Structures are given as structure tokens and as C-alpha cells.
Amino acid sequence: MFTGIVHGVAQVISIDKKKKLHTYTINLPSILLKGLKLGASVANNGCCLTVKTIDRYYVVFDVMQVTLEHTNLGFVNIGDYINVERSVKYGDEIGGHIVSGHIMNTAEISKILKLNNNYIIWFKIKNFSLMKYIFYKGFICIDGISLTIVNITRNEFCVSIIPETLSLTTIGFKKIGELVNIEIDLYTQITVDTTERLINNNFFVPCK
């Protein structure tokens, strides 16, 4: 489990591409290595991956085919930087929102606006059916960053990025047309899906 508060960025050192499996090695900042063990969960661009090997500052992860198909990790190249978050521990402050690290889909950056100290990014989700979970002022996790939705159109939404987030994550280096990982807030999913199911099955009892 994660919070969407990115702890730092890490550079991809190597990628071993096998059939239906990629193995990534990242150079993890020393501050994020403390207490890290084999089998631990680490969010890479918001995607929960399991630590396979630790060699000093180098940490290795396997990425299966299904993950490559539904995230932007298949487009990561050697030398690229990714957002990293260690899994939350009991007693940690939840500064963002509860995130599972299970990416639902990717979204394409359609517009970037830099106006009067505001940095606003518009996204178009690849799977349009997910737009039903997108709400004004709702939570969303983009490349592992917990963000608030500030505007919505029929098939796009946008978020506003504060300077602190720009300085601590990779979001400020993204360009139009690039793909980002999307995780919808779990509680929003449950609420929408439950309501939809009740309506479709006529479970609502009319008031007398």
C-alpha cells in the first residue's frame, strides 16, 4: 500500500528485455535504501513492483507482460528517471490518499499550460470507460503522484501541479503525447460501481 507521496526519483540503469518479461535495474537514492529487503514492494511510476535483487545502490525488479501492456513501464528507456515511493508502514503519515499501486490504464498528455505561476496538465485516458470515475476535486494517482482533479471535459481531465511536486518528481519533464500511469481512487471505484449495480438491478426502493 502507498500514499501517492513520491519519495524521490531514480534513474533506470539497465533493462533486460526477455519474451513477456522485462527486468529493470534502478539506482535508488541512499535515503530510500534504508531497511529495504528482498520481496519488498516499491512503487515505480505508481506501479507496485517487488524487489528481486539489491546490490549496493542498484535495485532490480521484474515486470511481467500484463504490467507492460497496462502501464508506461514498457516505454521506459535506460537513463530515464522514474518516480519512486516505498510502501507505507503502520504509523506513517498519510499525506496523499490510499494507493494500491495497481495501475488501471495509461493516459496521454494532451495539453500543458504554464500561466501566472500555474502549471496545469490535461490528460486523455486511453480507456474512455474509466471517465465515469473521474470527478471534480476527486483524487487520482498519476505516475505515482497523488493529485486532485481540477477540471473535466467529456473525455479529458486536468490537474494543477504545485512547485514542490514539480521539483521532487518527473512530472515537470513530461511532454505532450507522453503516456502516464493512472490509478483511480479505490473508494471512488467502489461507490460508482455499487451505485451503478444497484440502479441496473432496480434495488432502490422509492420513497413513500
Phi (first) and psi of residue 79, to 5 degrees = 100, -20
More confident residue, 207 or 187: 187
The pLDDT of residue 89 is 73
CATH number of 105-196: 2.40.30.20
pLDDT of residue 108: 97
pLDDT tens track for 141-164: 999 999 999 999 989 999 999 999
Contact in structure between 104 and 180 (CB atoms under 8 Å): no
| Of residues 111 and 197, more confidently modeled | 111
Is 8-86's fold the same as 105-196's? yes
| Location of C-alpha cell 530515464 | 80
Question: What are the grid coordinates assigned to 27, written together?
Answer: 539506482
Q: For 193-203, what is the mean pLDDT?
A: 84
- Cell matching residue 61: 525488479
Please give the radius of gyration of the chain, using alpha carbons only, rounded to the nearest integer: 18
Confidence bin at 78 (pLDDT 50/70/90): very high
Please provide residue 74's backbone torsions phi and psi, each rounded to the nearest 5 degrees.
-70, -15
pLDDT in tens, 97-122: 788 899 999 999 999 999 888 899 99
* Domain 8-86: which CATH number of 3.40.50.880, 1.10.260.40, 2.40.30.20, 1.10.10.10: 2.40.30.20
Q: How many CB atoms lie within 10 A of CB 20?
A: 11
Region for residue 39 given its phi and psi (left: phi exceeds 0; alpha: psi -120 to 50; beta: otherwise): left
Mean pLDDT across the chain: 91
Range 63-68 average pLDDT: 94
Domains in the chain: boundaries: 8-86, 105-196
Asked if residues 174 and 182 have their Cβ atoms less than 8 Å apart, the reply is: no
Distance between CA 25 and CA 57 in Å, rounded? 10
- The predicted structure's pLDDT at residue 208: 57
